[in-house]
Amino acid sequence: MLFVTIVKSALKSLWSNKLRSFLAMLGIIIGVGAVIAMLAIGTGTQQDVLSRIQTMGTNRLSVRPGQGHTPGGVRGDDVQTLTVEDAEALLAIQGVNTVAPMAQGSAQLKYQNNNSRSRVVGTAVTYLSSNNFQVEHGRFFTDSEADRNARVVVLGSEAAGTLELTRFDIGKPVKINGLNFEFIGMLKAKGGDSFFSADDMAIVPYTTAMNILFGMDYLSGIEIQAKDSNKMKQVEEAIAAELRKRHKITNPDEDDFEVRNQADIIETMSGVTKTFTYLLGGIAAISLLVGGIGIMNIMLVTVTERTREIGIRKAIGARDRDILQQFLLESLIMSALGGLIGMAAGIGAAVAIGRFSQDFNPVVTAQSVLLAIGFSAGVGIFFGFYPAWRAAQLNPIECLYYE
Amino acid sequence: MLIQTRDLVKVYQMGAAQVRALDGVSITISQGEMVSVIGASGSGKTTLMNLLGCLDQPDSGSYVLAGEDVSRMNRDQLAHVRNKRIGFVFQSFNLLPRISARENVELPLQYAGRKDTHRAAAAALEAVGLADRMHHEPAQLSGGQRQRVAVARALVNDPDILLADEPTGNLDSRTGEEILALFEDLNRQGRTIIIVTHDAGVAARCARAIRMKDGRVIDGPAKG
Ligand SMILES: Nc1ncnc2c1ncn2[C@@H]1O[C@H](COP(=O)(O)OP(=O)(O)O)[C@@H](O)[C@H]1O
Ligand SMILES: [Mg+2]
């Protein structure tokens, strides 16, 4: 039998049972729609997270004190292994663009009657550019101010807001842990960064932080900006090698520092969000599966109802595979059509969610659409096969005299 | 010899009991004959027709149709034989509802893989006098017209045998007469026809009767 003839007769028989065909398709429509919408939400979240991380710069490395490898290893501020000399030595490494020694802690900020407990970052001038910060008002401190423990502070937009400081207050004294600092500048808000608020902090020269504010002779970390974001691995290894040499460590397992790469963080985060995407997609795929079972159910009923027709067709020469094709095609058409309508519904839902929700920016990808359509066609074939096979195996005589 | 059967046996299991629907049937039918199979209800006529029409296989015995042993064929081969060599006419017409008369007649052509199905189906309907009812669905046709569509469908692939099981059973006597006249016409053109019936009047119209009782042929010589 010609393929067009089978398609025509399949469409005809689906059309003659419009409501039933539509209800069978509905499961697939909902399933495909759900898969596409859920994957869009997952992918959108994934891209959001990555772009947030990327605003922090992809060519950054940071060195933290403590044993990063060993689970439960000692970490944090009380590990006093990194020194200003270490930071200076790293600048000589090939591929390193800037190095910013970090001496940070939490401190009480006060301006007039306004208080704020904020992170105070003691660092060098290079920190500004290596972290993609921009000064919105006033200025950043200078190298010479850093050299002479100058009591100057640059505030993040959020910290400034809490203290009710505006650009007109530049030059006024702000108290940090009770000591007077000159408010010299304000950073442009970075926003969008929910992991730790980059805007709620105060930046002072690292010398000031070490010698005046926190009284520490070690660093809480070193921030490095590499020249080429494609050579992060090499730079990372060179830094580790240099620090081992300086700390007289031969066995990497005994490192008293840890070098972390921005790419590692991105990798971890995208791993998490990918899992999230798969989870959403998987839950939606279950509804697609249920849709397939709905089709199988309807097809089994159809085959029973049309037993007589099957007998007649066999009597006039239909082979088993002609009957198989006929019924398989009916379920395939239902699931393919359901898939297309579901695709439209899913994309529509994703767009609507993007428009009406602040939390999600769904992104519909071609892969997710192909995946959902392919899956629904697969569901059609898989769940349509058994009823069609049953129809094909029926005995013509039993069918012909079936009432 | 167009049809030659030897010791056909068909046994149905009815719970614990066995029904020997056919109990050793040996018949021969030649090309161009018009034969009736007659007998009381339950004598095995329909079972014989199912076997002759390759809708079913015997439990034992052999059946040679046009030189081919069909009792050894697989399902696909039997389907092919039904499509090419056999045309069925049933008591209850067995047309597909919701498609037109012509589409019904086209089906055997489509299963034969033919492409010019429109024209051939139209010609077959014209041959049974239904040229003006081609686009009617079965529900819009009278019983006699439906049976004519069934005859057109049975003939459209130019089969060796026309097998009719009680073809007039659901028709009033006048339309039944028309259908029998149509069969006689076809037989005169050389078509081999086997009519299963319990109606002696119908059997009398055939050149020969095969009489059945309890799954056996009781006397089968040519009459007249
Ligand atoms: N599918 C079946 N299952 C069980 N018994 C059957 C079946 N078909 C026919 N029979 C039995 O076989 C016998 C012959 O039936 P059938 O060939 O239909 O007779 P006829 O057509 O002459 O009335 C009957 O006793 C009938 O009950
Ligand atoms: Mg009968």
CA distance B179 to B166: 11
How many degrees, rounded to 5, is the angle at CA B24 between CA B18 and CA B27?
140
pLDDT for residue B70 is more than 80: yes
- If you take atom 13 of ligand 1, which residue's CA is the nearest one? B21
Closest CA to A37 of A349, A271, A296, A251: A349
Which tokens go with B201?
């009047």
Q: What is the mean pLDDT of residues B74-81?
A: 95
Among left, alpha and beta (phi > 0; psi -120 to 50; other), residue A82 is beta
Distances (CA, A) of A355 to A27, A44, A216, A260, A350: 26, 13, 51, 37, 9
B41 Cα–ligand 2 center, Å: 6
**Residue B158, in any domain of the structure:** yes
Number of helical (H) and strand (E) elements in chain A, helices listed first: 13, 10
**Residue B62, in any domain of the structure:** no
CA distance A338 to A287: 13
Those residues with Cβ within 8 angstroms of residue B6's Cβ, 6 or more apart along the chain or in another chain: B26, B61, B62, B63
Inter-residue contact B107 to B95 (CB < 8 Å):
no
Taking an 8 Å cut-off on Cβ atoms, the answer to whether A316 and B75 are in contact is no
Can you give the residue range of the structural domain that contains B159? 33-46+80-219
For A40-63, give one letter per residue: b (16+ CB within 10 A) or e. Answer: bbbbbbbbbbeebbeebbbbbbbb
The pLDDT value recorded for residue A192 is: 53
pTM over 0.80: no
Taking an 8 Å cut-off on Cβ atoms, the answer to whether A2 and B153 are in contact is no
Q: What is the tally of structural domains in chain B? A: 1
DSSP calls for A254-305: G-SEEEEEHHHHHHHHHHHHHHHHHHHHHHHHHHHHHHHHHHHHHHHHHHHH
Inter-residue contact B111 to B84 (CB < 8 Å):
no
In the Cβ-directed half-sphere of A334, how many Cα atoms lie within 13 Å? Answer: 37
Grouped pLDDT means (10 residues each) for chain A, 403 residues? 85 91 92 91 85 73 73 53 90 90 92 91 89 89 92 92 91 94 91 62 94 91 86 88 90 86 76 85 87 92 94 96 94 92 94 86 89 87 94 93 79
**Residue B16, in any domain of the structure:** no
A5 Cα–ligand 1 center, Å: 36
Q: How confident is the model at residue B120 (pLDDT cuts 50, 70, 90)?
A: very high
**Residue B26, in any domain of the structure:** no
Inter-residue contact A223 to A123 (CB < 8 Å):
yes
CATH number of the domain within which B84 lies: 3.40.50.300
Q: Is A194 exposed, middle or buried (0-12, 13-18, 19+ CB in 10 A)?
A: exposed
Inter-residue contact A183 to A153 (CB < 8 Å):
yes
The pLDDT value recorded for residue B124 is: 95
pLDDT tens track for B12-64? 998 899 999 999 999 999 999 999 999 999 999 999 999 999 999 999 999 99
In the Cβ-directed half-sphere of B160, how many Cα atoms lie within 13 Å? Answer: 19
Most A CBs within 10 A among B47, B50, B96, hence the mutation to make, goes to: B96
Nearest-atom index, ligand 1, CA of A401: 1
- Among all bound ligands, the one having the nearest atom to the CA of B50 is 1
